[in-house]
Amino acid sequence: MDFLELLSLTARAAVSPEAAVLALAAVGLNLHYGYTGLLNFGQAGFMMMGAYGLAIGVLSFDLGFAGALAMALAFAAVLALLMGLPTLRLRADYFAIVSLAVTESLRLLFRSSWMEPVTGGVQGLQRFGDDFFALNPIPPGDYALGPLHWNEAQLFLCAVAWATVVATILFVRMLVASPWGRVIRAIRDNEPGPTSLGKPVFRYKMQSLVLGGLIGALAGVLLALSHQDVNPETYLPTLTFFAYTGLVLGGMGKAWGPVIGVAIFWMIVAATDGLLASASDTLSWLGPQQVSAARFVLLGAGLMLLVMYRPDGLFGKREQRRAA
């Protein structure tokens, strides 16, 4: 594999709709963890709510795209309440465990045969995207920019996805700089402090959980549209951890951190994938199955080094966390 090929591979990965989806999920996590201190291990669950909400809205209720989108967001809000109401008054680790457990339980419920009439069970749901792609104003054809090329549907999805990412980041940035944001950041740093000043901490945490969850649901909607398929196996806990990886790379509690981090993460995945695949052509002991495992071993090691030496992200200041 030559260098140019690798470069175009990574560039395609960085702007792919999947990268946008993961970035959006990470923006929601940034609101949860980076700004409010809520260790949400169930972002995949919010994404799943978004994806299934859209698909079920279109297929079972015939709502059209806008109605189904509203349903996706409503699903996510319900999940946030389900997770948050019993746990957000408790110590932070209870919430972390419950967020993971609720998400996984819901996923198993959705893939069960009992739910099959609505969720499609293990088969999942397909053919719900027509209403969305019908909104596409781009004339049919092939479009290219350097190594990147799309057909009109891919270009539309890509544009919508990245526009959503940018708009969401601007929205979150405005919000965390507001007096409301000051309170959630104070909760992150030291919960008794704002409590002692009369701030209803539980309400703020709940609001942050719902908002970040809605952002996660948008990511799920885009992922479903991009794959044209909703399947329970997509929303494994690893999806949440990929979003966290991007967030850690880009730096938590920074508005643009998630998108930069996810882009880098996705590029590294693509690059190591390409490199290892070409290495496996020459090294007999490195088969294609080992390749996909090996890249995550490398990624994991890299992430550990990052957390050790750059706890505030690739572009963070190292000394910040060491004081006090």
Partner 1 sequence: MPHDPVILKAQGVVRRFGAFTAVDVERFAIARGAITSLIGPNGAGKSTFFNVLSGFMRPSAGSWSFDSTEISQLGPHRVARLGLVRTFQHTAVAARLTVLENVMLGAQDPAGETLLSALWPARWRPAERRLAERACEVLERFRLAHLRDEPASVLSGGQRKLLEMARALMAEPKLLLLDEPMAGVNPALRDSLLEHIVELNRQGTSVLIIEHDMELVRRISDQVVCMAEGRIIAEGQAAEVAADPAVIEAYLGARRAGVAPARPAPLPPPAEGQAPILAVQDLVAGYLPGVDVLRGCSLELHAGEIVGIFGPNGAGKSTLLKSVFGIARTRAGTIRHESQDITGSPGHRLVARGIGYVPQLENVFAQLTVLENLQTGVFIAPDRWSDGFDYVRGLFPPLQRLLHKRAGDLSGGERQIVALARALMLRPALLLLDEPSAGLSPIMQEQVFEFIAAIRSQGVAVLIVEQNARRCLEICDRGYVLDQGRNAYTGTGAQLLNDERVEHLYLGARPAQDDGESAAGAHPPVFSPIHGAMNVTATARPLPH
The residues binding partner 1 (CB under 8 A) are 174-175, 178-183, 185-186, 188-190, 192-201, 207, 211, 253, 320, 323-324
**In angstroms, rounded to a whole number, what is the distance separating the alpha carbons of residues 179 and 262?**
28
**In angstroms, rounded to a whole number, what is the distance separating the alpha carbons of residues 246 and 265?**
6
**Residue placing its CB nearer to partner 1 in the complex, 76 or 263:** 76
Q: How far is the CB of 174 from partner 1 (least distance, A)?
A: 6
**In angstroms, rounded to a whole number, what is the distance separating the alpha carbons of residues 11 and 197?**
49
Q: Give 311's strand partners.
A: none
Q: How far is the CB of 202 from partner 1 (least distance, A)?
A: 9
**In angstroms, rounded to a whole number, what is the distance separating the alpha carbons of residues 312 and 2?**
34
**Residue placing its CB nearer to partner 1 in the complex, 102 or 206:** 206
Q: How far is the CB of 206 from partner 1 (least distance, A)?
A: 10
**Residue placing its CB nearer to partner 1 in the complex, 34 or 120:** 34
**Residue placing its CB nearer to partner 1 in the complex, 38 or 106:** 38
Q: What are the backbone dihedrals phi and psi of residue 260, each rounded to the nearest 5 degrees, phi first?
A: -65, -45
Cα three-residue angle 11-238-264, rounded to 5 degrees: 25
**Residue placing its CB nearer to partner 1 in the complex, 34 or 124:** 34
**Residue placing its CB nearer to partner 1 in the complex, 81 or 115:** 81
Task: Provide long-range contacts, Cβ within 8 A and 24+ apart, for 224-227.
Answer: 224/50, 224/51, 224/54, 224/55, 224/128, 224/129, 225/54, 225/129, 225/132, 225/133, 225/157, 226/17, 226/18, 226/21, 226/157, 226/161
**In angstroms, rounded to a whole number, what is the distance separating the alpha carbons of residues 279 and 2?**
12
**Residue placing its CB nearer to partner 1 in the complex, 17 or 253:** 253
Q: How far is the CB of 68 from partner 1 (least distance, A)?
A: 24
Q: How far is the CB of 212 from partner 1 (least distance, A)?
A: 13
Q: How far is the CB of 222 from partner 1 (least distance, A)?
A: 23
Q: Which residues of 40-69 are buried (b: 16+ CB within 10 A; e: fewer)?
A: bbbbbbbbbbbbbbbbbbbbeeebebeebb
Q: How far is the CB of 91 from partner 1 (least distance, A)?
A: 14
